[in-house]
């Protein structure tokens, strides 16, 4: 049995005076994919944002290898790859530029080979030099997923990654996920549709 890298214990979040979730505890080990399920408004997005420290938790802790992630926010940010509801892509930049800029913002020098591989994984090589504003919703989603793959971060936080994806893109995502997990990575995905190989955590 692998030991858990990510430990969430007693996490509670409140928004607008309303409890979103209360004393939530779970852990995720290397090579594991956790699927957050639950009805709309059950707090899946808030939980992802709380893990990323984008939303403050009223109580509880998020630990990585036993250490509270709030102790070193920057080190924690380096371990994260984020895919939100909005893709975080600039419409006036091309797909390749978007991914390269995101890498630079993370403090990495983009490696052409790695970017190329990420684009190929989502069948984006022909779209690489198209401005993002000309892409369809599904193509944008793929571009954002390619950005996640290119980051090589150990923990992926994905909010509704399957949104707008067709069957081929979905297969590409599952392939990318299984490569990531096989290399010892972790992923947490908020999702409505079932994801292959995922352990589900239902939020009430």
Partner 1 sequence: MSGVGALFLRDLRLVWRRPGDVAVVLAFFVVATVLFPLGIGPETNLLARIAAGILWCAALFASLLSLDHLFAADYEDGSLDLLLLAPWPLELAALAKCAAHWAVTGLPLAILAPLLGVAFGLDDRSLLVLALTLLVGTPALSLIGGLAAALTLGARRGGALLALLALPLCVPTLIFGASAIEASATGEGFMVHLAILGALALVSLATLPWAIAAALRQAGE
Partner 2 sequence: MADLHFLANPARFRRFSRRVLPALSIVTAVALAVGLYWALVVAPPDYQQGDTVRIMFLHVPTASLAMGGYLLLAALGASLLVWRHPLAALMARATAPVGATYAAVCLVTGSLWGRPMWGTYWVWDARLTSFLLLFFLYLGHIALSRAYDDSERGDRAAAILAIVGAINVPIIKFSVDWWNTLHQPASIMRMGGPSIDPSLLWPLFWMMGALALLFATLVLLRTETEIDRRRLEIAENQD
Q: Which is nearer to partner 1, 74 or 182 (CB)?
A: 74
Query: 17 vs 107, which CB is nearer to partner 2?
Result: 17
Q: Which does 104 bind (CB under 5 to 8 A by kind): partner 2, partner 1, none?
A: partner 1
What the block records as the tokens of 25 is 């505890």
Residue with tokens 């214990």: 9
Residues paired with 202 in a beta bridge: 37
Nearer to partner 1, 1 or 109 (CB): 109
Shortest separation between residue 119's beta carbon and partner 1, angstroms: 18
Residue 195 near residue 35 (C-beta atoms within 8 A)? yes
The whole-angstrom separation of Cα 29 and Cα 35 is 13
Closest to 30 in 3D by CA, of 79, 78, 71: 79
Contacting residue, 2, 7, 11, 15, with partner 2 by CB under 8 A? 15
What is the closest distance, in whole angstroms, from the C-beta atom of residue 165 to partner 1 in the complex? 17
Instruction: Kindly list the strands in the beta sheet with 4-15, ordered across the sheet, starting from the edge strand earlier in the chain.
Output: 18-29, 4-15, 59-64, 67-68
Tell which positions 131-170 bind partner 1, by CB under 8 A: 131
Give the residues lining the site for partner 1 (CB under 8 A). 49, 52, 54-56, 74-75, 77-78, 80, 82, 84-93, 97, 101-102, 104-107, 109, 131
């Amino acid at each position: 049995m692998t030991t858990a890298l990510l430990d969430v214990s007693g996490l509670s979040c409140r928004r607008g005076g309303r409890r979103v979730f209360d004393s939530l505890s779970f852990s995720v080990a290397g090579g594991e994919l956790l699927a957050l399920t639950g009805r709309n408004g059950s707090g899946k997005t808030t939980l992802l944002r709380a893990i990323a420290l984008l939303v403050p938790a009223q109580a509880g802790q998020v630990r990585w290898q036993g250490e509270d992630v709030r102790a070193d926010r920057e080190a924690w940010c380096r371990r994260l790859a984020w895919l939100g509801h909005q893709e975080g892509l600039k419409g006036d930049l091309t797909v390749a530029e978007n991914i390269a800029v995101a890498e630079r913002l993370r403090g990495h020098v983009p490696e052409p080979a790695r970017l190329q591989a990420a684009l190929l994984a989502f069948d984006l090589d022909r779209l690489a030099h198209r401005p993002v504003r000309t892409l369809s919703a599904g193509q944008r989603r793929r571009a954002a997923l390619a950005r996640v793959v290119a980051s090589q971060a150990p923990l992926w936080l994905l909010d509704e990654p399957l949104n707008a994806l067709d069957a081929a893109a979905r297969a590409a995502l599952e392939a990318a996920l299984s490569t990531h997990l096989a290399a010892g990575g972790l992923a947490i995905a908020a999702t409505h549709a079932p994801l292959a190989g995922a352990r589900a955590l239902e939020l009430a």
